[in-house]
């Protein structure tokens, strides 16, 4: 771990000196060396990537160094023309964790608007559609990898949710991170929040889903961006799920991002005001556990109970945030930087933990019913 911290220090120096590519290579070389000495737990074999696709990472050891720490800045992307029309849909890859049941569809599409363009996967359930969920992957992950690891499509099928899986491009971030730490990507009117919200609205409009029954969730950098979506577009999103992420505006640049991830003071951080469910491993060495409490902010009417339905126990705190919205905070004993209850067919998952996908869907359904007055 000390060697990895030294690597991160050197990478920051290289980034400030104008060599982000060299900094990325330095981190990747360090991670390859660490994998040769430590067996990942839980054990996950990399999936065979489609021809031309980037290689997916192996799972990281809970509490160990992971590639998700790569948040290096890149040249701003060129904005595509505003056609407003997705590319022709094609079926997403199959295999473990991705097979759609009869009547359901899992397709690859592209969304283009004035704020940019991104590829995405779209899962449409076999029955009536009742809601939509945007799922944002972590750094170095692809949308397909994230879908495999979280098994969220299966959880969403039971609720009648369509699931939108946006995919970050390497031209937008060299490590495939959502740019949660850049000021221009923290506002409602531009950058990635505006692009992702436009994508969510487009799918919701096409499937007849009203505002308030659209939700967002993500892991790590994706969790941080999901929190930003909830802050910037509370009219669209009824609730958000943040797994191993950070509060909106926890950082404004690369240097402050590393500090926030370590748990340093983040004076600009803003707690969410809309309903949220937050998962955090207490042995996470990539995003300090204190960040989970920064997402929720101070809570009132709290109740804490133990969850022991999985191999890893968890402390679950429920309450109300400053705006009076419902909050759940799941703090998982012994868990590192990985999706709790995930499948070993994807990266950054911990099958030993409570099933975050199932619990998030339950929470989102409860918020939808509360909003409808049921």
> 153-186 pLDDT, tens per residue?
999 999 999 999 999 999 999 999 999 999 999 9
Least confident of 40-49, 70-79, 215-224, 288-297: 40-49
The vertex-232 CA angle with 184 and 347, nearest 5°, equals 75
pLDDT at residue 211, as a whole number: 86
In order of their start, the domains of the chain are: 2-44+52-69 (no CATH), 90-372 (3.40.50.1820)
Least confident of 76-85, 111-120, 239-248, 312-321: 76-85
pLDDT at residue 99, as a whole number: 79
71-97 pLDDT, tens digit each: 433 333 333 222 233 333 344 555 555
pLDDT at residue 85, as a whole number: 34
Identify the three-state secondary structure at position 20. helix
14-70 pLDDT, tens digit each: 545 555 555 555 554 554 444 333 223 222 222 223 333 333 333 333 333 333 333
Distances from the Cα of 304 to the Cαs of 122, 309, 328, 330, in angstroms?
A: 36, 16, 10, 10
pTM confidence score: 0.78
Whether 164 contacts 115, CB under 8 Å: no
pLDDT at residue 344, as a whole number: 94
Position 205 pLDDT exceeds 70: yes
Distances from the Cα of 48 to the Cαs of 74, 94, 137, in angstroms?
A: 27, 12, 18
Distances from the Cα of 297 to the Cαs of 28, 231, 269, in angstroms?
A: 34, 13, 10
The β-bridge relationship of strands 237-243 and 276-281 is: parallel
The β-bridge relationship of strands 131-136 and 116-124 is: unpaired
């Amino acid at each position: 771990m000390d060697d990895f911290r030294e690597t991160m220090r050197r990478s920051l120096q290289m980034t400030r000196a104008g060599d982000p590519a060299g900094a990325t290579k330095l981190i990747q070389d360090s991670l390859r060396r660490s994998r040769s000495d430590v067996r990942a737990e839980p054990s996950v074999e990399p999936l065979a990537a489609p021809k031309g696709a980037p290689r997916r990472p192996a799972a990281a050891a809970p509490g160990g160094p992971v590639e998700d720490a790569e948040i290096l800045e890149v040249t701003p992307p060129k904005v595509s023309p505003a056609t407003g029309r997705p590319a022709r849909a094609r079926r997403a890859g199959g295999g473990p964790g991705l097979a759609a049941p009869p009547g359901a569809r899992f397709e690859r599409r592209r969304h283009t608007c004035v704020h940019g363009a991104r590829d995405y996967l779209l899962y449409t359930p076999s029955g009536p559609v009742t809601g939509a969920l945007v799922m944002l992957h972590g750094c170095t992950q692809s949308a397909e990898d994230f879908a495999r690891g979280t098994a969220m499509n299966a959880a969403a099928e039971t609720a009648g949710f369509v699931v939108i899986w946006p995919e970050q491009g390497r031209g937008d971030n060299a490590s495939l991170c959502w740019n949660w730490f850049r000021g221009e990507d923290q506002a409602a009117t531009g950058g990635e929040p505006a692009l992702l919200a436009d994508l969510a609205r487009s799918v919701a409009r096409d499937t007849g889903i009203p505002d308030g029954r659209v939700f967002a969730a993500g892991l790590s950098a994706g969790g941080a961006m999901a929190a930003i979506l909830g802050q910037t577009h509370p009219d669209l999103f009824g609730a958000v799920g943040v797994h191993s992420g950070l509060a909106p505006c926890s950082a404004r640049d690369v240097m402050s991002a590393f500090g926030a991830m370590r748990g340093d003071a983040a004076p600009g951080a803003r707690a969410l005001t809309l309903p949220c469910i937050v998962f955090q491993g207490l042995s996470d060495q990539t995003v300090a556990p204190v960040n989970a409490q920064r997402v929720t902010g101070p809570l009132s009417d709290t109740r804490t109970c133990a969850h022991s339905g999985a191999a890893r126990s968890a402390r679950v705190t429920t309450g109300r945030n400053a705006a009076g919205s419902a909050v759940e905070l799941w703090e998982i004993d012994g868990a590192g930087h990985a999706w709790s209850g995930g499948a070993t067919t994807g990266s950054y998952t911990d099958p030993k933990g409570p099933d975050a996908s199932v619990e998030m869907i339950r929470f989102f359904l409860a918020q939808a019913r509360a909003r409808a007055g049921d």
